[in-house]
């Protein structure tokens, strides 16, 4: 067993993948918890898909697709956030439209891009095994920014997530922090894109913190547990995918989904035996 593991992680691409997995788990566990508590799951789905527009445009004009994804996800996250605040319930529709339009833009520009295009699919479905040392660096940068963001503003973020009106009446920086949270969500989407692809980003954002919040009652504990669960899902998924020769991203998400349903059932049973 240990020999197999040692062998698997003796490859450099597996080491990079594992390192990327840890960084992604850190970012998505923390931001994902805030996304779930602030009911921004729809928005983050929209951000993820709209980001593909940036991937397409960047590759067409010969820039780094990651840069395109970053710009597009920041743009769409702030736009959707503003729409959400102004339109409330009706923002649903607008998020849906941006979701699809971003995707369509990406597909058109990708198809216009001359030459070899297969790697552009990796932004949709993930390519954790192709993560480079360079990728690790910017991922680490975003992970550091995330940790700083939450460490510095934890109390305010908690207050705003729980009761935005009260936070406003207390003159907490509600607007600034909401925009910052949207920006961090956009960056999280791009980091997670590298691992599981834009289409499955939502799963990585929501599943670990959803499981954690079934069993823990404090936001920071939920964040920590979500990070831990992310690391477990990604590293176990990597191993399974290596041994079975199945696509890593899909294995990771399936594993997470499976544990989610198990946790759901366990939680149910626990509730029943309590009563």
What is the binding site for another protein (CB under 8 A)? 37, 151-159, 161-163, 165-173, 213, 216-219, 222
Q: Angle at Cα 245 formed by Cα 244 and Cα 246, nearest 5°?
A: 90
Give the three-class secondary structure for 42: helix
CA distance 174 to 206: 23
CA distance 194 to 122: 8
Closest separation in Å from C-beta 186 to another protein = 21
Rg (the chain; Cα; Å) = 19
Q: Which CB sits closer to another protein, 15 or 42?
A: 42
Closest separation in Å from C-beta 230 to another protein = 18
Tokens representing 68? 């395109």
Q: Which CB sits closer to another protein, 100 or 151?
A: 151
Question: 72: number of CA atoms within 13 Å, CB side?
Answer: 30
| Region at 62 (left for phi over 0; alpha for psi -120 to 50; beta for the rest) | left
* C-beta neighbour count of 23 within 10 angstroms: 27
Please give the distance of CA 107 from its chain centroid, rounded to a whole number: 21
Closest separation in Å from C-beta 182 to another protein = 17
Q: Which CB sits closer to another protein, 177 or 249?
A: 177
Q: Which CB sits closer to another protein, 134 or 165?
A: 165
CB 236 within 8 Å of CB 47: no
Q: Which CB sits closer to another protein, 139 or 222?
A: 222
C-alpha distances out from residue 268 to 103, 183, 203, 226, 229, Å: 38, 36, 22, 20, 20
Closest separation in Å from C-beta 172 to another protein = 6
CA distance 54 to 258: 32
Q: Which CB sits closer to another protein, 60 or 149?
A: 149
Closest separation in Å from C-beta 169 to another protein = 5
Measured torsion, CA atoms of residues 81, 82, 86, 87, in degrees rounded to the nearest 10: -50
Q: Which CB sits closer to another protein, 13 or 166?
A: 166
Closest separation in Å from C-beta 145 to another protein = 16
Closest separation in Å from C-beta 14 to another protein = 35
């Amino acid at each position: 067993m240990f020999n197999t593991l040692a062998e698997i992680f003796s490859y450099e691409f597996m080491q990079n993948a594992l390192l990327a997995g840890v960084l992604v788990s850190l970012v998505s566990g923390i931001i994902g918890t805030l996304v779930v508590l602030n009911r921004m799951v729809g928005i983050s789905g929209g951000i993820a898909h709209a980001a593909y527009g940036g991937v397409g445009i960047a590759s067409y004009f010969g820039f780094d697709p990651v840069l395109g994804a970053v710009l597009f996800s920041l743009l769409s996250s702030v736009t959707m956030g503003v729409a959400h605040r102004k339109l409330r319930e009706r923002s649903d529709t607008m998020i849906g439209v941006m979701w699809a339009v971003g995707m369509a833009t990406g597909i058109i520009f990708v198809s216009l891009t001359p030459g070899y295009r297969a790697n552009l699919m990796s932004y949709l479905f993930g390519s954790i095994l192709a993560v480079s040392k360079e990728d690790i660096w910017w991922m680490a940068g975003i992970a550091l920014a995330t940790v700083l963001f939450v460490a510095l503003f934890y109390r305010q973020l908690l207050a705003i997530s729980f009761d935005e009106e009260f936070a406003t009446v207390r003159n907490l920086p509600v607007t600034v922090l909401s925009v910052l949270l949207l920006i961090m969500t956009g960056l999280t989407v791009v980091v997670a894109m590298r691992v599981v692809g834009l289409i499955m980003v939502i799963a990585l954002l929501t599943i670990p913190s959803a499981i954690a919040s079934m069993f823990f009652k404090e936001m920071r504990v939920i964040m920590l547990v979500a990070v831990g669960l992310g690391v477990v899902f990604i590293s176990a998924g990597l191993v399974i995918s290596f041994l079975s020769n199945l696509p890593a991203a899909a294995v990771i998400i399936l594993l997470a989904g499976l544990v989610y349903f198990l946790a759901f059932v366990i939680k149910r049973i626990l509730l029943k035996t309590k009563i």
